[in-house]
Amino acid sequence: MVNAGLVGVLFALHIVFAVLDWDLAFSLVALSISAQIVCFGPLTVILASESDRTKRRQLNRQASVVALPLALGLGWAYGGMAWSWLPVSTVFVLTVAVHAALDRRLALLVDA
């Protein structure tokens, strides 16, 4: 899965940039990681270039299984590396909402 590999590369880069104290690069990569995790399913669907609506919906659902644990980790990071309910629940709910919105949209579309 290309998207999962990209998350891995970005995660490694964010560690390198933190060690080097490259604040701007770190912030840009952290922002990219955040967007990538919250939109993991939709990005996976886009990168897969699948034309069948049912397969896109299934792919989004499979990607959400990967995205949800990543969202918990992202919320933990935003909480200062501690289980703070507000950041953890905010990131988790946002991730669920994005994936559910795509699922709903794909469920309502009619194949042309």
Ordered by start, the domain boundaries in the chain are 2-108
**Which residue type occupies 104?**
R
Range 106-112, long-range pairs (CB < 8 A, 24+ positions): 106/53, 106/56, 106/57, 106/60, 107/57, 109/53, 111/52, 111/53
pLDDT value for 11: 95
Instruction: Summarize pLDDT for 69-89 with one digit per residue, the tens.
Output: 999 999 999 999 998 999 999
pLDDT value for 51: 87
State yes or no: pLDDT of 112 exceeds 60. no
Which is more confident, 79 or 111? 79
Q: Count how many Cα atoms sit within 13 Å of the Cα of residue 46 in the half-sphere of its side chain.
A: 8
**Which residue type occupies 41?**
G
Instruction: Summarize pLDDT for 24-54 with one digit per residue, the tens.
Output: 999 999 999 999 999 999 999 999 988 899 9
pLDDT value for 50: 86
Spatial CA neighbour of 91 closest among 15, 50, 35, 51: 35
| CA separation for the pair 25, 53 (Å, rounded) | 37
Q: Quickly list DSSP for 28-46.
A: HHHHHHHHHHHTHHHHHHH
Instruction: Summarize pLDDT for 1-14 with one digit per residue, the tens.
Output: 688 899 999 999 99
pLDDT value for 111: 60
